[in-house]
Structures are given as structure tokens and as C-alpha cells.
Amino acid sequence: MIVDVRPAGTSALLVTFGTLADVVAFHGGLTRAALPGVTEVVSGARTLLVRFDPARTDARSLRGRLDDVVPVAAGDRADDDPVVVPVTYDGEDLDAVAATTGMTTDELVAWHTGQVWTSAFCGFAPGFSYLTGTAPSLDLARRDTSRTAVPSGSVALAGEFSAVYPRTSPGGWQLIGRTSVPMWALDRDPPALAPAGTRLRFVAADRA
Amino acid sequence: MSTLTVLRVGPGTSTQDTGRPGFSDTGLGTAGPADRGSAALANRMVGNRPDAAVLEALLGSVTLRTDAHVVAATTGAPCPVEVASADGRVRGAAAYEVLHLAPGDVLRLGVPTSGLRAYLAVRGGLAVEPVLGSRSWDSLARLGPAPLRVGDVLPIGDAADAWPNVDAVAPPVSGVAVLDVVAGPRDDWFLPSWRGLLTGQEHRVTQDSDRVGVRTTAARPLVRAVTRELPSEGVETGSLQVPPDGHPVLFLADHPVTGGYPVVAVLTPASVDRAAQLRPGDAFRFRLVG
């Protein structure tokens, strides 16, 4: 499952995997294993950055312990119901995305709502979760030109991912809809709606 | 409660404590002082706990008035220090010296002679309202206590510990900085010439540097061996992330949690602190240590 392990400075290892599913499964196993000295794990699309406290462990012994981690498949962690996110599917790129993928807009909405999404990792902005689905990916290109201000709550697609913009920000993803569910709220614990590992389901707002 | 009132302040001055670790999986970084060593030293000089919040002042340039007896110290970029009493007397002081302020005293930090960021600790720490458990401003996430503005009143807290046995320490020696780096994790994404290009020429800091990263330029850029897109991956503070122009960006405290350009090498923690003190236009060199 592990493709390779490389040092990232003096207190982290970058572990590369073949697939995003492997990343999510290994992250689950790593959390369960609670290896001594590990302080934080940062998920990526094909990697986990494992930070450690050099006073408590070292790169070599940590590297050895990684081989003993038992991955936890996403299906085995389905103890909670997915978070439900109602979406109004009226995004500016909805028609163009449907045309590109050879679907009607109804079929595109059915594809987006008809699968369970898992937050693979977060980045770009606090609460911006890169969501990966269970259905075959559309592998959409980003827009040729980036928008200077994508409104907060925009539901978007790019590459193998779907996402919801937690705040108004520049962005090049294809916009298919919008939601009023905040992805980031400081008065919530945790403030992110979908930290890495969280499962989500989108529903069309008028049918919710 | 004792307070400091901000009378004058330049842009980019904020409170920083040890930061906000543990939120990476929500897309939020750690923040904290750009030069952690200097911030920790300032806290030690006034006998604070390590987690006390200090001021990080870009190019010094901050004037504060106290309403109580306050013990303070400045570290980092060595800047001229002056204390004006309520009766009009002005006394000289120095960076890297423990200062005893009386009610009504005005403390002025001038522009440093070298370096970029000065740190001011007061005994007890700055007790501004924390956000998600930290008093660090994160300029990328735009989260935490906001950068200082004239008129702000900063409460002084109770993060004091035992007194240390020093009243001054030696300021750092300046000169052409040498930054130590450990190779990887993505050094194999570059032509093998990267080692020579990194260590064999002088690099310079460019204008668009901030708490997110130190942008650099050099005569000859690094060249990619692998040209496909890198799937986004977690990055460390101190990472030398190489954008398409081939000139590394040195990630500081407010760096993004994940990045999509390969990281050729990572600075050691002490070199992150040194990098945080480089000014636009400063020349520096890299040295490979692993």
C-alpha cells in the first residue's frame, strides 16, 4: 500500500500511496494506531505528511512502525450517517459541465446526489474539503480562466474532486450549485464541517 | 487589569503565541511567530511561560503606552528602543535588554538596523481574546486576533513564571545568512543539477515576501525533471516549494497546509528563524546538511 517514504525536513515523513482510497484507509489506521511521538497527520491527494516530535521518536523508528499500521477501509468506518448538504443546483457552469460530460443537467444532479462523498483532505482555505466520491469521477478540467470572486457556499467540481467554497475567494473550479450550510464556522467544534475522513451526501434542495 | 495602548504602529504587527497546531485536517495551519527562537527568547527574558503571546512587529515601528509597572524585552531584529516618562524625560534603552516600565511610560521601537521582525514580550503575556485556542494572527487564513491598529488596548495577562537570572543577552551577529536545508521530499522531481544551483550561487529575497513565505530569485533557476502535475500534498514549515519559475519559496509560519508544487528541500528549524529575518533585497546562501 505504501509506495515510498521520504523525509520532509527534520521532524516529518512524507508517505506516498498509489490511490486516494489508500490514503484515506491508511489515515484511518494511523489514527487508530496512535504511534508514539506522532503529533499531526496532514492528508494529501496521494500522501500523508506524518509530523513527529524529534524528542520522542526519530525518522528511522517511525518508518519501521508505519509498516505495522493496519489500514481501515472506508466501508469499515461507516459508523456515522453521512452529513447531508442541501444544494440548489443553479451554478453558472452547470449547463457547460453537463454538455462536456454528455449528460443532461438532471443526470448531472443525479450523479452528484447519488453517491457518498468523503473528505480526502483540506487545503486552500480553512474548511475547504477536497471531496472524493464513490461513483466514477468525471475528471473535469478547471475553467480556462479563474474567477476573481467565487461566492461562499458555491458547490463546485474539478479533477476527481467536488468541494464547497467556505468563503468568497478566487477560484477556477466549475460551479454547479450553492448551499447555505457553512463549511467553516468558528462557533462550531470542529469549525470545519468536513475535516479529512468525513462522509457527505448532497441532496437537491427542492427535494430535501 | 494592566494594559498597553497602541499609539503608533506600522502594517503587519500582530500578536503571536506558540500557534494553533492540530487543525491541518480542516485546512488551517499553525501560524505562530515567524522567528520562533526570537519570540521564545523574549518570553524567557521576562520570565513568561513559553505559551505567552508576544508582539511580532514588522520592521519594529511600534509605540505603546503602559498604565502599570511592566517588565518588557525586545528580541529579533535589533531596533532602537526609547522610553519616555509621563514627566517628559526620555531614556535610552536597547534591544535584547530587560526594560522596567512605570505607569504612563511610552515605549518606542524604531526601525531595526538589520533583520525584519522584532519581538516584544511583556511579563504576563498579551491577553487578547484567543481564537481556536491561540492568540496568533494567521495572515493566510485571516483568522485570530487582528493585526494591531492605533488605539487598540492590549490587556496584559498572567502567563508569568519564575524570574530568569539575566537582564540582557547578546544580539545576533549579522552578515550574509546561510540557511541549512535537508534534501527532499521531492528532490527527484528536479534535474540533479539542483544541488549545485541551490548551494553554488547567491539567492536574493524579493519584495513579495510575507508571513506565508520568503520569495527568492537567483541567476539560474532550478529545472524540473518530472513535469507532470503534483497532486496536492502536506507541506512543512521551512519547505522550499518550487513554482514553475524555478525559484524556491521558503514557507514561513502562515504557509498553506497543502501545496501543489514539489518541495526540493526543507530548512532546519533554526534556519526557518533566520529566513524570517531576511529583508527584501537581502542575499543569502543555502547549505545542504542532509
Per-residue pLDDT, averaged over B90-118, amounts to 94
Q: How are beta strands B177-183 and B283-288 bridged, if at all?
A: parallel
Read off the pLDDT of residues A155-192 as tens digits, 9 standing for 90 and up.
Answer: 999 988 999 999 998 888 999 999 999 999 999 988 99
Q: Report CB contact under 8 Å: A126, B141.
A: yes
Give the end of a domain, one of B91, B122, B155: B155
Q: Which of B52-56, B158-162, B170-174 has the highest mean pLDDT?
A: B52-56
Which CATH number covers residue A141?
2.40.100.10
Q: How confident is the model at residue A139 (pLDDT cuts 50, 70, 90)?
A: confident
Answer for the pair B203, B278: CB distance below 8 angstroms, yes or no: no
* % of residues, chain A, pLDDT over 70: 96
Q: How far does the CA of residue B181 sit from the closest CA of chain A (Å)?
A: 8
| Structural domains counted in chain A | 2
Q: Which residues of B touch A191 (CB under 8 A)?
A: 23, 26, 28, 132
Q: B170-200 burial string, b = 16+ CB within 10 Å, else e?
A: ebbeeeebebbbbbbbbbebbeeebbebbee
Q: Which residues of A touch B28 (CB under 8 A)?
A: 122, 126, 191-192
ipTM score here?
0.92
Give the end of a domain, one of A46, A76, A106: A76
Does A37 have pLDDT greater than 70?
Answer: yes
Does B209 have pLDDT greater than 60?
Answer: yes
Side chain identity, residue B29 = G
Nine cell digits for residue B243: 513554482
Side chain identity, residue B83 = V
Per-residue pLDDT, averaged over A118-125, amounts to 89
Does A208 have pLDDT greater than 60?
Answer: no
In a domain, B41, yes or no: yes
| A32 membership: H or E segment, kind and range | helix A20-33
User: Which DSSP string corresponds to B198-244?
Assistant: HHSS-EEE-TT--SSEEEEEESS---BS--SPPPPEE--TTEEE--T
The CA distance from A180 to A185, in Å, is 12
| A39 membership: H or E segment, kind and range | strand A38-43
B85 and B139 share one domain: yes
Sign of the C-alpha dihedral computed for residues B94, B128, A166 and A152 taken in this order: negative
Q: Which domain does B231 fall in, by range?
A: 177-288
Q: Which domain does A121 fall in, by range?
A: 83-207
Name every residue whose Cβ is closer than 8 Å to that of residue B183 and which is 6 or more positions away in sequence: A7, B195, B264, B265, B288, B290
Does B166 have pLDDT greater than 80?
Answer: no
Per-residue pLDDT, averaged over A48-55, amounts to 96
Side chain identity, residue A171 = G
**What Å distances lie between residue A109 and A114, A115, A126, CA to CA?**
8, 11, 26
B262 and B119 share one domain: no
Supply the pLDDT for residue A76.
Answer: 55
Chain B contact present for A7, CB below 8 A: yes
Q: Report CB contact under 8 Å: A8, B263.
A: yes
Q: What is the pTM of this model?
A: 0.92
| Structural domains counted in chain B | 2
Q: Which residues of A touch B290 (CB under 8 A)?
A: 7, 10
The CA distance from A182 to A188, in Å, is 10
